[in-house]
């Protein structure tokens, strides 16, 4: 777009009042207007930064990050988003903190939030737990604000849970939108969200679930492909089906990777663990049964190994639309003969898409910042206008 | 209060010049005017923040945190306080740093302080060590400043030592002052600082010592209650006695929890380790005698277990003033049938006081920020006036 | 200097255009004008800070620190430098991140750099690896910028590699320049870079190599002294030789510590590991041969122990110029009877130089900040002038 007013005009067409003073858990809990507002604000923030205009809207304030799993990308994306808006990140690292020592969620959530404007949580390891935990935290601080304990309501950004990975998939979608030349061009595009082989085990379901839960709203023809036994959560499939109907797209399933790739405009081949196995593992962990856990891991790796042919090859890529489907991945990918012997994708395919893959990832900090901005400001249009008017340089100009 | 001028007027009545370019170790080393200045500045900073006025008084500068023990609350309180004033926190984590590799305190203290405006230390584990270590650090950097090595004098905030926990207890007191309707209303109030049973072992003495060391200055009738054998440091008791005389309050001791609770306005039931045992343990650690340490732990846990009846029950709470004493705790508490089978407090009591407990904790970041402000600025009245005049918004208003 | 214009005038005499949008790897890859520009900007930034003028030139933006080794000083120096300029530090801690899980350098470098203005790396452990790794990172993000993935080009500061330790040695040199009363006074000064005994093993070669690689450019008479078998990298010696010729200084080698100290103006006695042994160790680590590694360590410690007489004693110090050579060390030093029984320096010598040693270290944050400023701004003269004109106070003045 040519100037900030274009983004403001776009926002003026949308209804997203409910995002203010609210949290962001799952994309399908948001209206389509709200998703569009998020993409629009993300693009607007990027526009301002590219024009060296500071988007610091906080002059002090904390962004709390709570990771229950190792993470580089998401950690840096959240830190970048907070920094972009003027918030300082404080990590609540369970190793360093007393969280591990049996405190209740409610107490800890309030104790760390006296100066917190936003809390970002990643908790994707156990089925049925991560999203629930996030709601506990969000409810706790919302109550703390209501009770006058907290002077501001810290809003939550889901940085990946057991059900959805909204910051990733919203970034993926924004990448597609730009590559396809606009949201309206997504209609009728065929998207293959397919399982792929990985020698590692237990990768989260949040990306495939997030993908079918979001792209079905854009009028796309979404195909979910995986070997038998690698089903995702049935509730999410149900949502995808319903949404596809509403948007004029479609949602189909297949156990045939080639079928999914055939004439696809966009492919997203990625490994994940079977939902049923993840659920079983969650229960075994709860019971602390380490022998059974080891047995399950062994079994799952053996099961994976039966599907080494599920790989994004040059041959398969040739069958996509003009042989040039847009290849997506949340990274890091398991690349044949690079990160492992057999993996999710052939090295030559991956290499050809390196730049688009990095661009795909580059949207994430802006998506997170947009979620925060929409949660914290009633009138983001005015914020954007005033930021440009203020004209504070991000890098000193001399 | 209605506006910033009220806080400034209050400060004008007090003498606190010596706080400037000084450190904060123990509350009883400060004059009563200085303590009042701290509470007043804390309230003023909170007033400004509640009115969306930025209190950033540093435009770059570091706050160093040095924790020799795990911590969530204090870590976040210090980070919040620094952020509120515009300082960026840098953690000196012994795991990450070379401190563990035999460097002298003097050297390390200077090496990390080239851009440090404040250093916050928590070191409460070993009797006779924590406070001493803090003085070493403070002396080192004061000397470094005098010698022209450091361009500013980093001042120190004691975030908990073996003797006192001034940021906690000053926050506790400010909470009481507000709940009782003003400092003058604290006179004659009965405060029960009592031991309580915990299944864990070796909790620091800094809270009970801090409590009797501070509340005796407010004209309160302070009762210290604990089973025989759970004595605190005799020097601190002596200070409490002397201060009570001067303030027109009283300081008494009892081995009877019920006696302490009877007609109390405020109760603070909390576990701690016997001073003598902590001293013994410190020596055993110094000698590296792990067999003796284990034997001591076992002995102390057995000793604790004899006093499971020291619990803050509904029955006991009924005996307090109108059955409605203000219940204090520094958190986290050991709650019966919640965090442990038998603990410091019955779940129903704790639940009823949850909001006040969280409010109590909410003062800590402001207390720390007030200590920093008074250490770094000669004329805090003018700082407060200018901050309001500057009117920089904490959250962008659009 | 009396005012900012003096620094600007000095910069006007120098040519350093190539530093803009570039990285800082090794001092000998920079022109002498570029080194002078670095010292001048460092002094100018210090001048501004001493006059309470904020030097924040970034209004948001990240400084990424990547340490492959424990570090206190360098970590804090980098954090201080970033903070001074308005960048927020994000540590890429391999423990916390997925770097350890087999990602390619190129991918990770881009993934963490979406909002990064500078990347500081310390990687000094393995011969032939550290500097190479830094180039990989710098090339990756330069390419990412060129490809439009990154909106800014994150420039690199070498915080210590296997070859050079430019931030340390540039700070050391600036300290010497000030102590000797100006750069022109460095000509003809005798500098003894000598090995010294340490009971520890495997200290990096980057300091002695950095010293002979830098001081030979200042017209100094540089003597490198070490026991036989403690040779540094021959390539660096060759560079030192060539540079000495060009600058009108000299570069000589000896196996006699006393000879090096005789009439020296500056002494830098410090332990390091033999280059050949470090190279061997690097290969053994690559092969994962832990038995051979242990054998090598034992052998090297035994070899060290044959040279306990290589110590900076009072006796040796007496033989230096007027008995008052400037004693340098990058700290921490191995001090006789303080940090170890036998070490690099006698306690009385070290104690006498404590203040100068701390001052030496105090230049490092400014050197790093100067490197960043010169990498990010085309016209640093104008930046300095505008910063003074802006007159934003670092500490609020009221």
Q: What was the ipTM of the complex prediction?
A: 0.94
Calpha distance B343→B203 (Å, rounded): 13
Most C CBs within 10 A among B54, B114, B140, hence the mutation to make, goes to B114
For C87, residues 6+ apart whose C-beta sits below 8 A from its C-beta are C58, C61, C62, C63, C117, C118, C372
- C308 close contact with B: CB closer than 8 A: no
**How far off is chain A from C354, nearest CA to CA, in Å?**
34
Give Cα B294 distance to the centre of its chain: 30
Residue A28 pLDDT exceeds 70: yes
Nearest Cα of chain A lies from the Cα of C60 at a distance, in angstroms, of 6
Closest-CA residue of C relative to A350 is: C107
CA-CA distance, C133 to C121, in Å (whole number)?
Answer: 9
Instruction: Give the confidence band of C95 by pLDDT, cuts at 50, 70, 90.
Output: low
pLDDT by residue, tens only, chain B of 398 residues: 568 999 999 999 999 999 999 999 999 999 999 999 999 999 999 999 999 999 999 999 999 999 877 778 889 999 999 999 999 999 987 654 544 433 578 999 999 999 999 999 998 877 888 999 999 999 999 999 999 999 999 999 999 999 999 999 999 999 999 999 999 999 999 999 999 999 988 889 999 999 999 999 999 999 999 999 999 999 999 999 999 999 999 999 999 999 999 999 999 999 999 988 888 888 888 888 889 889 988 999 999 999 999 999 999 999 999 999 999 999 999 999 998 999 999 999 999 999 999 999 999 999 999 999 999 999 999 999 999 999 999 999 97
Stretch C352-368: mean pLDDT:
97
Q: What is the pLDDT of residues A141-182, one digit of tens each?
A: 999 999 999 999 999 999 999 999 999 999 999 999 999 999
Average pLDDT for C314-318: 98
Q: Give all strands of the β-sheet with B88-91 in edge-to-edge order.
A: B88-91, B62-67, B116-123, B155-161
Q: Flag whether pLDDT at C185 surpasses 80.
A: yes
CB pair distance less than 8 Å for A361 and C110: yes
Q: Which residue's entry shows tokens 């001067």?
A: B246
Is A99 part of the contact surface with chain B (CB cutoff 8 Å)? yes
* Cβ burial, residue C228 (10 Å; 0-12/13-18/19+): exposed
Token pair, residue C243, equals 């540079």
Q: C96 in contact with B at a CB cutoff of 8 Å?
A: no
Least CB-CB distance to A88: which of B88, B355, B394?
Answer: B88
pLDDT, greater one: B65 or C284: B65
User: Any idea which residue has 């986290």 for tokens?
Assistant: B332
Cross-strand partners of A253: A224
Tally A–B CB contacts below 8 A: 110
Q: How far is the C-alpha of A129 from the C-alpha of A121, rounded, in Å? A: 12
CA distance A68 to chain B (A): 15
Q: Do B60 and C86 touch (CB under 8 A)?
A: yes
Contacts of B21 in chain C (CB under 8 A): none
Subunits next to C (3 or more Cβ pairs <8 Å) are A, B
Residue B338 contacts A where some CB pair is shorter than 8 Å: yes
- Considering only CB atoms, which chain C residues are within 8 Å of A391? none
Residue C101: which pLDDT band, with cuts at 50, 70 and 90?
Answer: very low
DSSP code per residue over C349-369: HHHHTHHHHHHHHHTHHHHHH
How far apart (Å, rounded) are the C-alpha atoms in residues A193 and A185?
19
Q: What three-state secondary structure class fits C160?
A: strand
Q: Report, as an integer, the average pLDDT of C366-391.
A: 97
**B171 φ/ψ angles, rounded to the nearest 5 degrees:** -70, -45
Residue A392's pLDDT band (boundaries 50, 70, 90)? Answer: very high
Q: Which residues contact A135 (CB under 8 A, 6 or more apart)?
A: A25
> What does the block give as tokens for C84?
């001074």
Q: List all chains that touch chain A, counting a touch as 3 or more CB pairs closer than 8 Å.
A: B, C
Q: How far apart are CA A353 and CA A333, in angstroms?
A: 12
Q: Is residue C341 within 8 angstroms of chain B, CB to CB?
A: no
Q: Which helix (H) or strand (E) holds A90?
A: strand A88-91
* C285 to chain A, closest Cα gap in Å: 21
Query: Which candidate, A363, A322, A370, A349, places its Cα nearest to that of A176?
Result: A363
Best of C53, C67, C80 to substitute, by most chain B Cβ atoms within 10 angstroms, is C80
* Chain B / chain C CB contacts < 8 angstroms: 112
User: Which residues are within 8 A (CB) of B271 and not within 5 positions of it... i.e. 6 or more apart?
Assistant: B195, B196, B197, B198, B200, B203, B304, B334, B344
Region of C52 on the Ramachandran plot (φ > 0 left; ψ -120 to 50 alpha; else beta): left
Give me the residue label for tokens 């640093």. C380
Which of A236, A227, A230 has the alpha carbon at shortest distance from A164? A236
C316 sits in which H/E element: helix C314-318
Closest chain A C-alpha to B69 CA, distance in angstroms:
9
**CB-CB neighbors (< 8 A) of A396 in chain C:** 56-59, 377, 383, 386-387
Task: Name the maximum alpha-carbon separation found in chain A.
Answer: 65
CA dist., res. C364 & res. C84, Å (int): 12
C86 touches chain B (CB under 8 A): yes
Neighbouring chains of B at 3+ CB pairs under 8 Å are A, C
Q: Where are the beta strands (DSSP E) in chain B?
A: 62-67, 88-91, 116-123, 155-161, 190-195, 221-225, 250-254, 266-270, 326-327
pLDDT tens, C120-146? 999 987 788 899 999 999 999 999 999
Q: Looking at beta carbons, which residues of chain C come within 8 Å of A93?
A: 96
Q: Which residue of B has its CA nearest to A56?
A: B396
Distance from the Cα of A115 to chain B's closest Cα (Å) equals 6
- The answer to whether B396 contacts A103, with C-beta atoms less than 8 Å apart, is no
Determine, for residues C57 and A395 on separate chains, whether the beta-carbon distance falls below 8 Å: yes
φ, ψ for residue A149 (rounded to 5)?
A: -80, -45
Q: Which residues pair with C190 in a beta bridge?
A: C221
Q: How far is C154 from chain A (nearest CA, A)?
A: 13
Phi, psi of A177 (to 5 degrees): -55, -45
What are the chain A neighbours of C60 within 8 Å (beta carbons)? 54-56, 83-84, 86, 394
Residue of B nearest to A91 (CA): B76
CA distance B371 to B368: 5
Helix (H, G, I), strand (E, B) or coil at B285: helix
Structure tokens at B230: 């759970």
Mutate to test the interface with B, among C122, C168, C357, C394 (most CBs of B within 10 A): C394
Chain A, residues 350-379, CB within 8 A of chain C, namely 355, 358-359, 361-362, 364-365
Instruction: Write out chain B residues lying below 8 Å of C76, CB-based.
Output: 90, 92, 111-112, 114
Report the alpha-carbon distance of residue C73 to residue C79 in Å, rounded. 10
Q: Rounded to whole angstroms, how far apart are CA atoms C189 and C176?
A: 10
DSSP result, B246-268: HHT-EEEEES-HHHHHTT-SEEE
B80: closest chain A residue by CA: A115
Mean pLDDT, range C270-279, rounded to an integer: 90
Is B389 an 8 Å CB contact of chain C? no
Q: What is the DSSP string of A326-351?
A: EE---S---BBTTTBSS-SB-HHHHH
């Amino acid at each position: 777009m040519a100037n900030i007013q274009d983004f403001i005009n776009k926002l003026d067409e949308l209804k997203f009042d409910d995002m203010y003073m609210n949290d962001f858990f799952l994309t399908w809990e948001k209206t389509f207007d709200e998703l569009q507002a998020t993409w629009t604000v993300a693009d607007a923030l990027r526009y301002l930064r590219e024009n060296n205009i500071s988007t610091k809207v906080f002059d002090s304030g904390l962004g709390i990050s709570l990771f229950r799993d190792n993470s580089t990308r998401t950690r840096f994306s959240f830190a970048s988003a907070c920094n972009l808006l003027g918030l300082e990140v404080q990590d609540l690292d369970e190793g360093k903190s007393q969280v591990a020592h049996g405190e209740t969620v409610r107490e800890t959530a309030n104790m760390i939030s006296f100066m917190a404007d936003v809390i970002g949580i990643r908790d994707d390891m156990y089925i049925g737990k991560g999203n629930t935990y996030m709601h506990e935290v969000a409810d706790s601080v919302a109550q703390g604000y209501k009770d006058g304990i907290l002077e501001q309501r810290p809003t939550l950004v889901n940085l990946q849970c057991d059900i959805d990975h909204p910051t990733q998939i919203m970034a993926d979608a924004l990448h597609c939108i730009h590559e396809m030349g606009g949201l309206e061009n997504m209609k009728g595009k065929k998207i293959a969200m397919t399982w792929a082989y990985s020698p590692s085990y237990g990768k989260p379901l949040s990306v495939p679930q997030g993908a079918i839960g979001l792209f079905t709203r854009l009028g796309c023809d979404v195909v979910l492909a995986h070997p038998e036994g690698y089903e995702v959560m049935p509730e999410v499939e149900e949502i995808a089906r319903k949404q596809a109907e509403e948007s004029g797209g479609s949602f189909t399933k297949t156990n045939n990777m080639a079928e999914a790739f055939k004439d696809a405009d966009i492919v997203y081949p990625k490994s994940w663990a079977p939902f049923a196995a993840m659920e079983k593992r969650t229960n075994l962990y709860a019971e602390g049964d380490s022998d059974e856990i080891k047995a399950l891991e062994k079994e799952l790796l053996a099961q994976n190994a039966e599907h080494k042919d599920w790989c994004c090859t040059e041959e398969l890529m040739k069958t996509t639309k003009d042989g040039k489907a847009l290849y997506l991945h949340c990274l890091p990918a398991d690349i044949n003969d690079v990160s492992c012997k057999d993996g999710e994708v052939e090295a030559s395919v991956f290499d050809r898409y390196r730049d688009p893959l990095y661009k795909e990832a580059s949207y994430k900090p802006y998506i997170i910042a947009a979620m925060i901005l929409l949660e914290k400001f009633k009138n983001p249009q005015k914020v954007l206008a005033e930021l440009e008017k203020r004209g504070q340089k991000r890098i000193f100009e001399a």
